[in-house]
Amino acid sequence: MRLDAMTALVTGGASGLGAATAHAFARAGADVVITDLPNSEGKEMAARIGARARFVPADITDGDSLSAAMGAAKEGGHLRAVVHCAGRGGDRLRILDKEGNPAGLDSYREVLEVNLIGSYNVLRLAAAAMADNPVQDGDRGAIVLTASAAAFEGQIGQTSYAASKGGVHAMTIVAARDLARWGIRVNTIAPGTFDTPMLDRLRQDIRDSIAATIPHPKRLGDAASYADLALSIVRNSYLNGETIRLDGALRMAPR
Ligand SMILES: NC(=O)c1ccc[n+]([C@@H]2O[C@H](COP(=O)([O-])OP(=O)(O)OC[C@H]3O[C@@H](n4cnc5c(N)ncnc54)[C@H](O)[C@@H]3O)[C@@H](O)[C@H]2O)c1
């Protein structure tokens, strides 16, 4: 699929992986809609990218605001790419506390609400927005979701996060099969450990020790590498139903 003469919507585009992806689409000649929470820095990020980018606030867990954002992205062009980067970290809660009491359910529900139900909300509304596009190179559109290496080797304290990201991985092939009749491809990127604001809360020595566990290259991932892969997935018409790990061969230890 050609990246110029299309509109790409990037959720979570105000920060981290989403911001790098929004920049990359604009550099490749696409018009870009950044979608993020109203109190995010989406407007400033769009201004930094330039005339090709605009900010349309939406909460990915909310049908109405996200549907309006997809509608806005369709104005004046064809929305052919949606890269879904919005998400949150986990809660680091163990199943039992030190006294053997079970963890509550509220936090688990909150993580699944944003990362899993939010992803399905993006998937269904993106597909609906793409369904009437004219076919180009065999496609009406391409959707890229974001899982995590934790979908495969979640660490202790990551039950909610790993379940949410495992769900995103699991629905990728189902969505690709389901949307095949519409000419819409669905793929997922599973990042390892990337240097974004999501990791800012970690101390430098912890970031260094994470970097040391990555076989090659021995450093945290760069958001530009994520963006590069997202663009390649959208361009490559034969890539469908796949979760691609982007992690420098990292396989996470139990803790
Ligand atoms: N950074 C990493 O190491 C890493 C590793 C694996 C997976 N991921 C995943 O990649 C994605 C992007 O992470 P990041 O590192 O760029 O994080 P980030 O915190 O820099 O950016 C996430 C963005 O999502 C937005 N967001 C959060 N909840 C939202 C909601 N309900 N509606 C709309 N926007 C919302 C935030 O405002 C923020 O701008 C997340 O899904 C994360 O789980 C990140």
- pLDDT, tens digit, 9 for 90 and up, residues 72-116: 999 989 999 999 999 999 999 999 999 999 999 999 999 999 999
Q: How confident is the prediction for the chain on average, in pLDDT? A: 96
Residues of the chain with pLDDT under 70: none
Question: Tell me, what's the pLDDT at 200?
Answer: 78
Question: Tell me, what's the pLDDT at 199?
Answer: 83
Atom of ligand 1 nearest to the CA of 18: 16
List active site positions.
161
- Tokens of residue 159, six digits: 């039950």
Provide residues with CB under 6 Å of ligand 1. Answer: 12, 14-18, 36-37, 40, 59-61, 85-88, 114, 118, 146, 148, 191, 193-194, 196-199
Q: Tell me how far the alpha carbon of residue 74 lies from the centroid of ligand 1, in angstroms.
A: 24
Domain 7-246 has CATH 3.40.50.150: no
Phi, psi of 41 (to 5 degrees): -95, 30
Atom of ligand 1 nearest to the CA of 196: 15
In the chain, where are the structural domains located?
7-246
Cα 100 to its chain centre, rounded Å, is: 35
Question: Tell me, what's the pLDDT at 198?
Answer: 86
